[in-house]
Amino acid sequence: MVRVRFAPSPTGFVHIGSLRTALYNYLYAKRHNGQFILRIEDTDRNRFVKGATENLVRVLEWSGLIPDEGPMKDGGFGPYYQSQRTELYLKHAQELINTGKAYLAFDTPEEIEMMRSGQKKAGNYSPMYNFVIRRQMRNSLTMSEQDVQDELEKQTPYVVRLLVPENQDIEFDDIIRGRVVFNTKEVDDQILIKSDGFPTYHLANVVDDHFMQITHVIRGEEWLSSVPKHLLLYRFFGWQVPHMAHLPLIFNPDGSKMSKRQITDAVLRKESDDLRKEILSSEKKIDPNLELYIQAGYEREAILNYIALLGWNPGEGDERQIFSTSELEQEFTLERVNKSGATFDIKKLNWINREHLVRISLAETRERLKTLLEDHQIDPFPDHYLLQVIELLQPRVNFIDEYWSKGLYFFQDPVEYDRDGIKKRWKDRSAHLILEFFDKISKLESFTAENIETRLRQITEQHELGAGQLIHPVRLAVSGTTAGPGLFEMLQVLGKETVMRRLKRAAEIIPSLKS
């Protein structure tokens, strides 16, 4: 059975790249009827952020990427927090020490820094603690057994390092990148157990993947250089190596790597419209904090759809761009993930969001609109009215909350009128024409778009005016804005009583605003 894992560190907000890793693991598991496991790699206590794990779980629940196993659902391979598995790591570190595959190093931070400085002065600008250096340092390879024992009895801080063989090629087949070859001269004697007794990512990762029976390791390209260390550990333990796939990096529009920029609470507390402006305001760098996009009102399916396309495509000649998560489960393969990096394009995300919004049924949109109205403390409207509003506004909205922000006048009378619109559209005779229009439509027995348009054009033809000279003032009077759906259809939906009330009020108020 295919078993994959998403193994994040709780060190801050959920990065867009992290969600893509989770998504690809989830999709691969679903495509192959496998298991998707969540494991929390929380052994780096210096970088641990309180609440990050809970936030991570909330994001996975929001996204619908529900683990088959993990902290919330034991599948028999737990515990799923690495901080609760330290005995297992220490046991296997000791096994490596006993078999001569790892050693103790007592070097102080100052001694390490002195070594690095000396190497740089000697022309080695990328110094590593490896087979060239290890014999010059204070470790169990250079010290006598008695000296080592004395240091242990004095409780001198030490780390456990991997004994990397000299000048060996290490090869493996990556599902995405093909054959990859490293030489051990490029690999340092990686720390396996830190001086605080906690394992590093490398040891814990390999031990957990083995004991959790992970069959496929799908993770970001940034871990590619760590593979030789992991393969050595698999070799030293005599374990089978899982299949590996390293995902391409995600870049900003300016070509830089999308970084973990810290987001302030003040930004996240902004309204959805303001958050979207914040996101769009940066043309060169994209904010990687997933929570920002959630609070900005992007559709869940749209975010997953777009993130899936950051590195994957449905195949040569297949031009499809819009996928539901269930469709992605059927289509996704690692073989169609690109080697090269992907550039985050906020405009494409917005387009995909709009396409997913259109896909939502009218009934579901109506229920979500009801929730919006409740949030703004607006009394309920009949279902048939809300459906008419949705049909009119749907071509003009890109986010669900825009049914409120762009269609406010469907739910309450304007409390103010667009000042620029008044200056541009409201003429000296507009109030008179509005009242004449008021009189005409007051006599209508059937308040339809067609009948309303007929009456309006009768007035403009009688006064030898272009229709726009009345259409624009009417729109401004009824909606308070200068843009929106077709005027006559809008008036029909609003209804005769509402339209007449607003026309009369605008004819009284707007002239005083113009002066």
- How large is the greatest C-alpha to C-alpha distance in the chain, in angstroms? 111
User: Among residues 456, 455, 434, 414, which one has the least CA distance to residue 507?
Assistant: 434
Sign, CA torsion 87/88/89/94: positive
Q: Half-sphere exposure of 322 toward its Cβ, with a 13 Å CA cutoff? A: 12
| DSSP string computed for 434-491 | HHHHHHHHHT-SS--HHHHHHHHHHHHHHTT--THHHHHHHHHHHHSSS--S-HHHHH
Pairing of strands 159-162, 191-193: antiparallel
Which member of 73, 120, 257, 260 is catalytic? 260
List the Cα angle 157/162/165 in 5-degree steps: 145
297: alpha, beta or left? (left if phi > 0; alpha if psi -120 to 50): left
C-alpha closest to that of 422 among 434, 410, 411, 412: 434
* CA of residue 427 relative to chain centroid, distance: 49
- Please say if 260 is a catalytic residue: yes
State how far the Cα of 145 lies from the Cα of 431, in Å rounded to an integer: 101
**Strands 243-247, 216-220: pairing kind:** parallel
Active site residues: 260
